Chain A
Amino acid sequence: MNKQETVMQTIDTLTIDYQHYLTTAEITAIEHEASIMETREAAGIEALKVVQDHRGWVSDESLFAISDLLGVPTAQLEGVATFYNLIYRQPVGQYVIHLCDSIACHLTGLDGVLSAIKQHLNIEYGQTTKDGKFTLLSNACLGSCDKAPAMMIGREHYQHLTPESAVEILQQLAAHGEADE
């Protein structure tokens, strides 16, 4: 029974101190969000975004630190984090591809686009490329049904995709970085 280890390693809101985990910049940004909300717990989603902007994803430690900072239970924060698909609770690549898999995209050639991307990056849904550049995720609907198939990378939407254009976009990103960043 290695209970002893687990006791030592458990992160706990009672004993965690957010100041050890979060940077001053993160704390300042989160406190700012909290100050403009009616209650501190309302700043939960913004706090998750702040931490993700700084670190790329939200780790368990970060979640507990935000919980300590805002006084919001971890269960509630986790509920928020897992409800929204743009909060990442696992490490992701530099670019996260949200490939739309709604009915309109399926009708207009998603399958080809998907297999082209998978083949180009050599990853499946939910995986990250070895160089840490790309993560491939499916997305319920991007609201671009009139311009399907569509995908979102960062804050940019790419529409009317073909297997070729999708791969080209990925190649450009890999080479030059995203246009608006």
Chain B
Amino acid sequence: MSENTVTIYIDNVPYQVSSEDNLLAGVLSKKLNLPYFCWHPSMGSVGACRQCAVMQFQDEEDTRGRMVMACTTPVTDGMRISIKHADASEFREQVIAAMMTNHPHDCPVCAEGGECHLQDMTVMTGHSVREYQGTKRTFTNQYLGELVGHEMNRCITCYRCTRFYNDYAGGKDFGVYGSKNQVYFGRQSDGALESEFSGNLVEVCPTGVFTNKVFSTHYTRKWDLQSAPSVCSHCSVGCNLSIGERYGSVRRVMNRYNADINGYFLCDRGRFGIGFVNGEQRIRKTHGISQQSPVSLTKLDVAKAFSHFRKKTFIGIGSARASLEANFYLKNMVGAEHFSPGYNDDEMKVAGQHAQLLSANNPLSLTEIENSDCIFIIAEDISQTAPRMALSVRQALRNAAKAKAAKIGIPSWQDSAVRTIGGNLLSPLFLLQSTSSKLDDVAEQTLLLPPEQISACLVALKALLELVEVKNNHNVEQALADIAEQMSLDSKERQFVCSLYKALHQAKKPLIISGTDHVSADTLQDINNLMQALKSKSDIKEPALIVVPPSCNSVGLLSLLDEKSLSIEQVLAELAQQEVNYQGVILLEQELGKLSDNQIKQLRSSCQTLIVLDHSQHRLTSIADIVLPVAAVSEGDGHYVNYQGQAQQFFQVHAPVLPIQESWRWLDNMAEIIGVSAAELNAGANANAKKSACDSLRQLHQYFTDSLTQWPTLLAAKQAGTQQAATARMPHRASGRTAQMANISVHEAKTTQKIDDSLTFSMEGQSAGQTSDMPFAWAPGWNSNQSISQFQTQINGQLIKQKAAIFIPVANLLLNNPRWELAKQSNKVSKVNAIDHLTLKPLHYVQQANIYFDEWQAAHTAEFKMLQPSNLMSISASTAEQFGIKKGQWCKIVFSATNDKMQLVSQSVISQITINKQLPETLAFGNFSLSELLSQPLDMGISLACDQEVTDYLSHYNDSLITAKLNKDAVLERLKVNDQTIPIRLVSGGLDDA
């Protein structure tokens, strides 16, 4: 609780509440029931719905009182209010009655029914009789894309959707239309919602106007869902999710509150990307293992298949999307000198720099980002690669307006007042990048540069910082002019660096964000140097630094890398040399997406045995000798480590159909035969004395702690505190539990026996709120996710039962290997000089990041494939003029380059063109990928496409959309058939358990 607490009297009972928030927040923080609609803990108050009316009294003598809206009333010391007062109570009931005149009461067919805030509030006010007899206004619903459904008739006009979509998340394609009793919330015309955060409308909307379309098509009530706490597997932010399943298939993802990370909101990749779990591309059978029994695969079968690999040497390739446990186990099985993260040489260098930056700078949590007052983002489109972080950046930019409002006494929770006083005032955001991004509209300055030139600006800024103290603005410009001369910066770049310098100078909490996916190791090193320079400046506050890696467990994998770790090039070379007698390669959830087809062929031909553990098909699963189907995130237990180094556990939502099991279980089965590399074992533990199989994650951790040297520094601390009574995965109201398998047998089936210690597959156990890992949010009277206020210490505070976060140490051991060191910085400036972009005019094409398709797992989701946009490329105004192209025209673009064998490679693309005035003429970006054979920079020719070419392209494009649609339908049909023969397992362990 914050230090500023005061005493208020609610119905004559004294309570201690925070004086910094409004009265409604104070009331809710005391777990009292007061209905509300328009107020949202993260979006503040606007006083639109008039639902939270309470009576306020002057003093103890005052019996008359006056009605106030709790959400717009500040808390003052000694204030006296009444919630129970008859006038206020009746007023609240009448507000609901008025809203209900237009509400269709279609709860039985509404996806929100059973977890509807409007239902909860209606019950809370006691409005139980429908009196209105007139007609209701009706609307035509819109098609809002494949993710969010629309049913406008249910709307109660609380304005939460537009406040979230437009004001909070910066959406542009959503609005409010009409007036009076005819107010419509939606798009200007039918079409997919463009915001990366559209799925939050489902949770923000207090009733069923916006619903989860994917969930609705294969629906079950919240009370029938079996849920487990999970962690998003689609980017490195590590948002907390609650995944719900029924009858063995995953139905939906809801936000799981975490005060430090995602708060109340998720991005659409996190919410809908779970579709891959049910996808057609899943591997469900083993390949390359002969099975004795026709019924099931046994451990004995696996042992036989692996028997001739006893004590053989393998190369293990881990991955950033596999759990920490699986990667750790694999590394210890094959030995550190035979372990590879699946990165190529360039990526290894980037990893080395990343580790160095991570060990020297503590990355901020998302909540801490929201306190920053100056943000500089370098070469990473976080709005697509880590969207939830971009949402936090957006909130941080409002700090200038909040500060301005605070000066005249407006508290930050007064949302509309702060927005009015703030106008367009934003804290500074600087974007230095190669493509435009969704944050451009709130950036103070955006500089678009080809990737190679981005470093030059960083070097210039560092040089400027290292100069003697520059006090006034004139000096800064003078000093910069000299540097710019040396480094041949143009006026735009100069101006950018200059403004950035000044903004950093004024900032109290500056923040720098970059990434690892599109950034070279050299740029990361430049960022490191820049950080050093900033740290040594006494007149500039040291900025925080965040580096965003691409995958959910990138940092977990990074923590396992050391000087012996191999790159893919090294793996291929090792295999080719045959100095060590390798039995083969074990690929752990690794699709090796960046390898060319030739390299894949080379890998295949040079290794005797290729063992692939994965959940989905890819190039390698079709050529592997042994394929083992592994659990996706919802089917197993494990830990992911987010960009900060925070390790978070995801829990099994349902037991997968065997032989699918977690990677670490497969590795455990294999380790019994192949053995664990002796070098990694604890002193005292005997390499040959094989332990018994690990049945649960807890046993696995115990084995790691007892036997292996590295593990205790990673997660051992967590072990001690986890003993507690198990929590129920199902709510108390789960219906039909005893009848759900009646079409198979009328005997009541046993519930699945828990293997994990802290959650049960049943409605019996501790209620959800008794643990920090809440399977779902529910409290008496609060069936929707809004119930979370019942579990917080105070509004927007930590959960009452929150456990301390565990951070994994990352050491920069990689840089101990000279192979991953970078060339010294000294020749840098001359290198920049060497590029004479005045005469050469090389063109760089950069593919824009995309929220749906950039992450390999989520990209398998059929709904995402249906949202694939048609080709669009942005070119500079001068390029457009050169080729005589106008905005919006369909063009044929021919890219060509000379490869290292001096052959001309070319590729032509049909695309619509748009003109970006900020683009330099050496840069173009678009939403399509170019062949890897084209090396940058390249030549580009643009001409108008003829009608036939456009028609051909569009029909091809259409076909891909139709294929995706058919794919979606096929998945749905299969899932519905599955529901009839529920594949429920009685034990949630591994092979031989069922």
| B187–A75 CB distance below 8 A | yes
- The contact string, 1 if C-beta is below 8 Å from chain A, for chain B 948-962, is 000100110110011
A73 and B958 in contact (CB under 8 A), knowing A15-B887, A39-B424, A78-B188? no
Q: Is the CB of B958 within 8 A of A15?
A: no
Q: Give complex CA distance A16, B188 in Å.
A: 16
- Residues of B168-192 contacting chain A, CB below 8 A: 172-180, 184, 187-189
Known: A7-B870, A14-B888, A74-B188. A83 touches B178 (CB 8 A): yes
**Contact indicator B888/A16 (Cβ below 8 Å):** yes
A4 near B175 with CB under 8 A, answer no
Chain A nearest CB, measured from B758 CB (Å): 46
B687 contacts A by Cβ under 8 Å: no
A73 pairs with B178, CB closer than 8 A: no
Binding site for A on B (CB under 8 A): 172-180, 184, 187-189, 423-424, 870, 872, 886-888, 912, 914, 951, 954-955, 957-958, 961-962
Interface members, chain A 27-59 (any B CB < 8 Å): 38-39
B contacts with A: majority SS: mixed
In angstroms, Cα B177 to Cα A83, docked, is 6
Residues from chain B with a CB closer than 8 A to the CB of A14 are: 872, 888, 914
Given contacts A14-B914, A76-B172, 6 further A-B contacts (CB under 8 A): A1-B962, A4-B955, A4-B958, A7-B958, A14-B872, A75-B175
22 pairs, CB–CB < 8 Å, chain A vs chain B:
A1-B958, A3-B958, A4-B954, A7-B870, A7-B954, A7-B958, A8-B954, A15-B888, A15-B912, A39-B424, A60-B189, A73-B172, A73-B175, A75-B172, A75-B173, A75-B187, A78-B175, A78-B177, A79-B176, A79-B177, A82-B179, A83-B179
Interface residues of A in 111-166 (CB under 8 A from B): 140
| A12 CB contact (under 8 Å) in B180, B423, B888, B951 | B888
Whole-angstrom CA separation of A39 from B422 in the bound complex: 13
A17 engages B886 (CB within 8 Å): yes
- What is the CB-to-nearest-CB distance from B909 to chain A, in angstroms, rounded to a whole number? 17
A73 lies within 8 A of B179 (CB) = no
With CB as the reference atom, state the residue of chain A lying closest to B189: A60
Residues in A whose Cβ lies below 8 Å from that of B189: 60
Q: B957: nearest residue on chain A (CB-CB)?
A: A7
Contact with B along A66-85 (1 / 0, CB 8 A): 00000001111011001100
In the complex, which residues of chain A have a beta carbon less than 8 angstroms from the beta carbon of B962?
Answer: 1
Instruction: Compute how far the CA of A74 lies from the CA of B961 in the bound complex, rounded to whole angstroms.
Output: 26
Task: List A contacts of B175 (CB < 8 A).
Answer: 73, 75-76, 78-79
Name the B residues within 8 Å of A74 (CB-CB).
Answer: 173, 188
User: What is the bound-complex CA distance between A2 and B146, given in angstroms?
Assistant: 18
A79 to chain B, nearest CB (A): 4
Please give me the 10 A-B residue pairs with the lowest Cβ-Cβ distance, nearest first. Answer: A15-B888, A75-B175, A73-B172, A82-B177, A79-B175, A74-B188, A78-B188, A75-B188, A17-B887, A4-B954
Residues in A with CB closer than 8 Å to B180 are 140
- Residues of chain A lying within 8 A (CB to CB) of residue B172: 73, 75-76
Q: What separation, in Å, do the CA atoms of A78 and B887 have in the docked complex?
A: 23
Nearest to A16 among chain B residues (CB) is B888
Contact in complex: B178, A82 (CB < 8 Å): yes
Bound Cα distance from A98 to B426, whole angstroms: 43
Contacts of A39 in B (CB 8 A): 424
User: B182 — nearest CB in chain A belongs to which residue?
Assistant: A82
Measured between beta carbons, the chain B residues less than 8 angstroms from A63 are 188
Q: Quick one: closest A residue to B913, CB to CB?
A: A15
A73 touches B173 (CB 8 A): yes
Q: Number of residues in A with C-beta < 8 Å to the partner?
A: 23
Contact of B177 with A17 in the complex, beta carbons under 8 Å: no
A12 to B913, CA, bound (A): 12
Min C-beta distance of A36 to chain B, whole Å? 17
Q: Which A residues between 61 and 108 are near B, CB-CB below 8 angstroms?
A: 63, 73-76, 78-79, 82-83
Question: In the complex, A73 Cα to B423 Cα: how many Å?
Answer: 17
Q: Is the CB of A15 within 8 A of B188?
A: no
Write out the residue numbers on chain B whose beta carbons fall within 8 Å of the beta carbon of A3.
958, 961
Q: Which residue of chain A has its CB nearest to the CB of B954? A: A4
Residue of B nearest to A82 (CB): B177
Q: Please indicate the chain A residues that have their CB under 8 angstroms from the CB of B872 in the complex.
A: 14
Question: Which residues of the other chain, B, contact A15 by a CB distance below 8 angstroms?
Answer: 887-888, 912, 914
Taking the closest CB of chain A, its distance from the CB of B439, in whole angstroms, is 16
> Inside 8 A of A76's CB, which chain B residues have their CB?
172, 175
The interface residues of chain B lying within 8 Å CB-to-CB of A82 are 177-179, 184
- Kindly report which residue of chain A lies nearest to residue B965, judged by CB atoms: A1
Bound state CA distance, A78 and B179, in angstroms? Answer: 12
A15 to B962, CA, bound (A): 25
Q: Which residues of A contact B179 (CB under 8 A)?
A: 82-83
Interfacial chain B residues near A73, Cβ < 8 Å: 172-173, 175
A75 to chain B: which residues have CB within 8 Å? 172-175, 187-188
How far is the CB of A1 from the nearest CB of chain B, in Å? 6
A73 and B962 alpha carbons, distance in the complex (Å): 30
User: What is the bound-complex CA distance between A110 and B184, given in angstroms?
Assistant: 29
Q: Which residues of A contact B177 (CB under 8 A)?
A: 78-79, 82-83
A15, chain B: closest CB distance, angstroms: 3
With a cutoff of 8 Å between Cβ atoms, the chain A residues found around residue B886 in the complex are 17
In angstroms, Cα B887 to Cα A16, docked, is 7
- Within the complex, what minimum Cβ distance (angstroms) separates B192 from chain A? 12
Closest Cβ of chain B to A110, distance in Å, is 19
A17 with B954: CB separation less than 8 A: no
* Set of chain B residues within 8 Å of A79, measured between Cβ atoms: 175-177
Tell me, rounded to whole Å, the shortest Cβ–Cβ distance linking A44 to chain B.
Answer: 12
Nearest chain A residue, comparing its CB with the CB of B961: A3
Residues of A within 8 A of B954 (CB): 4, 7-8
Chain B: which residue is nearest A7 at the CB level? B954
Q: Which one of A3, A60, A74, A75 has the highest number of Cβ atoms from chain B below 10 Å of its Cβ? A: A75
Q: Which residues of chain A from 8 to 27 have any CB-CB distance to chain B below 8 Å in the complex?
A: 8, 12, 14-17
Q: Which residue of A lies closest to B888 (CB)?
A: A15
Q: With the chains together, A69 CA to B886 CA distance in Å?
A: 16
Instruction: Output the least CB separation between B322 and chain A (Å).
Output: 38
Point out the residues of chain B lying under 8 angstroms from A38, CB to CB.
Answer: 423
Give chain A nearest CB distance to B848 CB in angstroms. 13
What's the nearest-Cβ distance from chain B to residue A164, in Å?
A: 32
**C-alpha gap A74/B179 in the complex (Å):** 18
Chain B nearest CB: distance from A81 CB in Å?
8
Closest to A15 in B: B888
A68, chain B: closest CB distance, angstroms: 9
Residue of A1, A60, A140 contacting most chain B CB atoms (<10 Å): A1
A75 to B424, CA, bound (A): 19
Counting chain B CB atoms within 10 Å of each CB, which of A14, A17, A82 scores highest? A82
Q: Which residue from chain B places its CB closest to the CB of A1 in the assembled complex? A: B962
Bound Cα distance from A1 to B962, whole angstroms: 9
Closest Cβ of chain A to B54, distance in Å, is 32
Complex CA–CA separation, A82 to B184 (angstroms)? 10
Chain A positions within 8 Å of B423 at CB level = 38
CA separation between A39 and B424, bound complex, in Å?
9
Cβ B888 vs Cβ A17 within 8 A: yes
A82 to B179, CA, bound (A): 8
A14 and B188 CA atoms in complex are apart in Å by: 15
Most buried by B among A12, A17, A73, A83: A73
Which chain B residue shows the least CB distance to A83? B179
Contacts of A78 in B (CB 8 A): 175, 177, 188
A17 to B: closest C-beta gap in Å = 5
Q: What A residues does B870 contact at CB under 8 A?
A: 7
What's the least CB distance linking A108 to chain B, in Å?
23
CA distance A104 to B684 in the complex (A): 97
- Separation of A58 and B878 alpha carbons in the complex (Å): 33
> Which of B178, B886, B888, B954 has the most chain A CB within a 10 Å cutoff?
B888
Min CB–CB distance A104 → chain B (angstroms): 18
Query: In the docked arrangement, what's the CA distance between A3 and B962, Å?
Result: 10
Whole-angstrom CA separation of A1 from B961 in the bound complex: 11
Q: How far is the CB of B945 from chain A (nearest CB, A)?
A: 12
- CB-CB under 8 A from B955, the residues of chain A are 4
Closest residue of B by beta carbon distance from A73: B172
Nearest chain B residue, comparing its CB with the CB of A38: B423
Q: How far is the CA of A73 from the CA of B171 in the complex (A)?
A: 9
